[in-house]
Amino acid sequence: MTEDKDRLRHLLTIADKEAKYLQSTFNRLSSETINEKWVVELEDNLELAERVDAFIGSPTI
């Protein structure tokens, strides 16, 4: 039983870290003005594209 509790505790720690990361990314993306130009420029802006990708793969925000 202790092994199951340890596994659950570890998974909760990972989920908490991911939630904090996604909230931080959301805050940064919220400050952007998203329009056609912004979307086109994603191809040349790897950092911004990675932020967007974090949300595409995220089930809920």
- pLDDT tens digits for range 27-48: 888 888 989 999 898 889 998 8
* First-last CA distance in the chain: 33
Per-residue pLDDT averaged across 3-15, rounded?
Answer: 95
Domain ranges of the chain: 2-56
User: What is this structure's pTM?
Assistant: 0.61
The whole-number pLDDT of residue 26 equals 84
